[in-house]
DNA sequence: ATCAATTCATGATACGTATCATGAAGATGC
DNA sequence: GCATCTTCATGATACGTATCATGAATTGAT
């Protein structure tokens, strides 16, 4: 109704209510104020449609209730999920999200950390691939999937356990000769342990296995070559595949389709991540599901922790198996 | 190297350089300053590692170089794309993005607009489904896919043209009996014109067509019923489908698979949006592609326009056809 | 050489808020 | 009824910045 051009300020409210500026502040912040004064102030606030100005508050208090989230992009479904759940976890705590895309560019990552600090964010959550990133030590900083040092908390899902689970599942589903396929990033990070868990379980189970890890940048055709090399008389001699990523699993499936190998009849495939088609439909592959919501929640609660210094330095969250049509169950 | 606890301030720089505060400000903002002074200040800035504090700047100038983007979520691939390109367009202009998820909740949309204003964003870009949203008139506001009034610029792709294009394409590919399938949102928005364009073109072409638009909330099984009802002797009597969304097209394809109707041999299908599997792989359906990057760029340039009042109220961007395997070409 | 015009550093101010020190008023104890 | 303690509104201050008015110094013109 009222035509306040720029929003009313505390001074306006104070004048309207006939009280001091400080009193208004204490009402707004829910501190102890005499009943009659509180009523007058609240009435004035209502009448003027006052909303606090977060810039002024930030300048005074030094904190913004904003957390920066740095991810490569939002097009990759896993990152999109992460962004969504992080935002939800933040919102639950009345915090805002400053979203930054690194696009796997290490210079950009550095700029963004600087920019975030310039914007006085209260903390940073980063999923980064920069091998020698300098983590600022004057602001709460949490990483995802990447362990830097004991002073930088890292949240990840149980990648080793996931690999273990995949091997056991393939064995249980009757596989007798399996392989692990992955395109590795240039750095060693938590997801690298998917292979370790898988190999370890295969050894335990006495399950014959092979491993192909492509270095980042090597052409995908090498992976197709690998598959071709395991064909005998038009049949694949592997009957189980654990692929490091749902995305890669999907590509493998497409390649196999061209080679007239049928999934899951001839070969069963388990991916990793738990990506769903269009975000909400049935999974596209049988997979080891990362608990994205938990990861996001943990990142947020960690980065906002009052006692940030005493926070554990590596938090591992449990994964689960999800049937998605590329295995027999 | 230096152990500045909290970042240096302009006053610190001024003291270090032996100049006045205002001089530092003018150097930082690239205004005219005498050469000797500029050198002294720049040296002091370098020495102290000064970075400007954006909160102080905002409090003084009133603008934040931040735009709020309100979308339902980031899990839906189309929204994820949009978020990505909007951020890129903003970054190019040295702006930040405050990302808000409405989750299709109209109350949340209202809260978020209020929150955004409280955070003094310089403008808002919103993709909303709230039928009676009150658009604030004291801040640049741009909508996507939804026309409110001539005073609120709306950016959309050429939905009518897209429908037209789809019909022509199906005709060109030999279809003789087609249908339009869609789940409509509860409100009338630009995407509703996909149907209009399609129908209009079918009439022009003399192409027999049918239309099924499910109201939001009606079960998907109605769509399957529609397909079942068009089966005769185990064959679908429709040979071309235009589906309002890639997501829905995908579901239709899954249903047809169960009915042993093969795509594109028995029926050709064109979707809408241009979604790619995992964000970067081959398209999952033949489709009408929305120019998401252009849309994002236009939204940003519009909302940041210096002469916001004189901006066109409806901007329509051209769509293209993309083959994706569910048509014959 | 004198005056007007220009350049440009200075110092002060305001943006909106939270909090500290102050002091007035009321409550309690003897 | 006096002193002590508590309650709580007040007014002032600082956070970091951009800009306005001021005036000093330099330039150009006559």
User: Number of CB pairs < 8 Å for A and B?
Assistant: 120
A277 touches strand D (CB under 7 A): no
Task: Flag whether pLDDT at B5 surpasses 80.
Answer: no
A57 touches strand D (CB under 7 A): no
- Chain B's closest residue to A99, CA to CA, is B97
Question: Which nucleotides of strand D lie within 7 A of protein CB?
Answer: 7-21
Could you give the C-alpha distances from A99 to A83, A293, A298, B44, B172, in angstroms and in order? 8, 17, 18, 32, 44
Contacts of B12 (CB under 8 A, 6+ apart): B48, B50
- Enter the pTM of the model: 0.94
Could you give the C-alpha distances from A238 to A198, A224, B142, in angstroms and in order? 16, 14, 55
Of A87, A120, A251, the CB nearest to B101: A87
Q: Tell me which chain A residues have a C-beta less than 8 angstroms from the C-beta of B96.
A: 98, 115, 119
**Residue B206 bridge partners (DSSP):** none
pLDDT at A248: 93
Task: Flag whether pLDDT at B3 surpasses 50.
Answer: no
Of B58, B80, B247, the CB nearest to A74: B80
For B291, the 3-state DSSP assignment is: coil
CA B134, C1' C17: Å apart? 29
CB atoms A75 and B280 under 8 Å: yes
Half-sphere exposure of B39 (CA within 13 A, CB side): 2
Q: Where in chain A is the domain with CATH 3.40.50.2300?
A: 66-157+293-317, 159-291
CATH architecture of A3-52: Orthogonal Bundle (1.10)
Query: Which superfamily, per CATH, for A159-291?
Result: Response regulator (3.40.50.2300)
Q: Where in chain B is the domain with CATH 1.10.260.40?
A: 3-52
Alpha-carbon gap, residue B229 to B227, rounded angstroms? 5
Q: Which of the 20-39 residues on chain A come under 7 Å of nucleic strand D at their beta carbon? A: 20-23, 26, 32-34, 37
For B305, the 3-state DSSP assignment is: coil
How high does pLDDT run on average in chain B? 93
**Residue A243 bridge partners (DSSP):** A181
CB atoms < 10 A from the CB of A80, how many? 27
A59 touches strand D (CB under 7 A): yes
**Structure token pair of residue B7:** 């970042």
Q: Tell me which chain B residues have a C-beta less than 8 angstroms from the C-beta of A97.
A: 98-99
CB atoms < 10 A from the CB of B235, how many? 13
**Residue A202, phi then psi, degrees to nearest 5:** -60, -45
Alpha-carbon gap, residue B85 to B80, rounded angstroms? 9
Alpha-carbon gap, residue A172 to A279, rounded angstroms? 29
Alpha-carbon gap, residue B6 to B264, rounded angstroms? 64
Planar angle of CA A304, A308, A313, nearest 5 degrees: 110
Of A80, A98, A138, the CB nearest to B74: A80
SS3 content of chain B, % helix, strand, coil (to 5): 40, 20, 40
Alpha-carbon gap, residue B301 to B306, rounded angstroms? 9
Helices (H) and strands (E) in chain A, counts: 11, 14
CB atoms A119 and B96 under 8 Å: yes
Alpha-carbon gap, residue B201 to A63, rounded angstroms? 57
Mean pLDDT of B117-141: 93
Check if the beta carbon of residue B125 is closer than 8 Å to that of residue B303: yes
**Structure token pair of residue B153:** 């610029």
Check if the beta carbon of residue B278 is closer than 8 Å to that of residue A275: yes
B94 touches strand D (CB under 7 A): no
Using one digit for the tens of pLDDT, what is the confidence trace for B59-78?
999 999 999 999 999 999 99
Of A56, A81, A101, the CB nearest to B75: A81
CATH class of A66-157+293-317: alpha beta
Of A96, A115, A247, the CB nearest to B119: A96
Provide the CA B282 distance to its chain's centre, in angstroms. Answer: 21
Nearest DNA or RNA nucleotide to A23 (CA to C1'): D9
Task: Flag whether pLDDT at B48 surpasses 60.
Answer: yes
Q: Closest Cα partner for A86 from A293, A279, A308, A318?
A: A293
pLDDT at B2: 36
Contacts of A190 (CB under 8 A, 6+ apart): A145, A146, A147, A154, A156, A157, A159
Q: How far apart are the first and last CA of chain B?
A: 61
- Smallest CA–CA distance, residue B155 to chain A, in Å, is 21
CB atoms B84 and A64 under 8 Å: no
Using one digit for the tens of pLDDT, what is the confidence trace for B220-276?
999 999 999 999 998 999 999 999 999 999 999 999 999 999 999 999 999 999 998
Check if the beta carbon of residue B12 is closer than 8 Å to that of residue B34: no
Check if the beta carbon of residue B116 is closer than 8 Å to that of residue B124: yes
Q: Tell me which chain B residues have a C-beta less than 8 angstroms from the C-beta of A58.
A: 55
- Chain B's closest residue to A247, CA to CA, is B278
DSSP A213-243: EEETTS-THHHHHHHHHTEETTEES--EEEE
For nucleotide C7, the protein residue with its alpha carbon nearest to C1' is B34
Alpha-carbon gap, residue B247 to A54, rounded angstroms? 40
pLDDT-flagged residues of chain A (< 50): 1-4
- Smallest CA–CA distance, residue A75 to chain B, in Å, is 5
pLDDT at A4: 41
pLDDT at A194: 97
Question: Which nucleotides of strand C lie within 7 A of protein CB?
Answer: 7-21
**Residue B275, phi then psi, degrees to nearest 5:** -75, 140
């Amino acid at each position: 109704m009222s035509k306040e051009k720029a929003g009313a300020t505390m001074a306006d409210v104070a004048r309207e209510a006939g009280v001091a500026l400080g009193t208004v502040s204490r009402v707004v912040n829910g501190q102890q104020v005499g009943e009659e004064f509180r009523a007058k102030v609240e009435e004035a606030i209502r009448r003027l449609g006052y909303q606090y100005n977060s810039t002024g508050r930030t300048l005074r208090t030094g904190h913004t209730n904003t957390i920066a989230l740095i991810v490569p992009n939002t097009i990759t479904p896993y990152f999109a999920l992460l962004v969504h759940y992080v935002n939800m976890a933040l919102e639950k705590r009345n915090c805002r999200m400053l979203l930054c895309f690194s696009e796997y560019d290490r210079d950009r990552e550095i700029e963004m950390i600087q920019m975030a600090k310039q914007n006085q964010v209260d903390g940073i959550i980063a999923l980064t691939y920069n091998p020698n990133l300098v983590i600022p030590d004057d602001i709460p900083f949490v990483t995802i999937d990447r362990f830097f040092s004991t002073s930088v908390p890292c949240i990840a899902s149980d990648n080793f356990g996931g690999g273990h689970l995949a091997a056991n599942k393939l064995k249980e589903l009757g596989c007798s000769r399996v392989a692990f396929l992955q395109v590795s990033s240039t750095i060693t990070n938590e997801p690298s342990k998917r292979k370790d868990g898988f190999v370890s379980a295969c050894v335990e189970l006495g399950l014959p296995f092979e491993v192909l890890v492509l270095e980042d940048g090597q052409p995908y055709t090498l992976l197709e070559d690998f598959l071709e090399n395991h064909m005998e008389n038009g049949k694949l001699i592997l009957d189980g595949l654990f692929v490091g990523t749902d995305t890669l699993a999907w590509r493998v499936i497409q390649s196999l389709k061209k080679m007239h190998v049928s999934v899951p009849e001839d070969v069963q495939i388990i991916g990793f991540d738990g990506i769903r088609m269009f975000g909400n439909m049935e999974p596209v592959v049988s997979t080891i599901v990362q608990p994205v919501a938990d990861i996001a929640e943990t990142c947020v609660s960690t980065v906002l922790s009052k006692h940030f210094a005493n926070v554990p330095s590596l938090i591992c969250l449990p994964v689960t198996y999800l049937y998605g049509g590329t295995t027999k169950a």
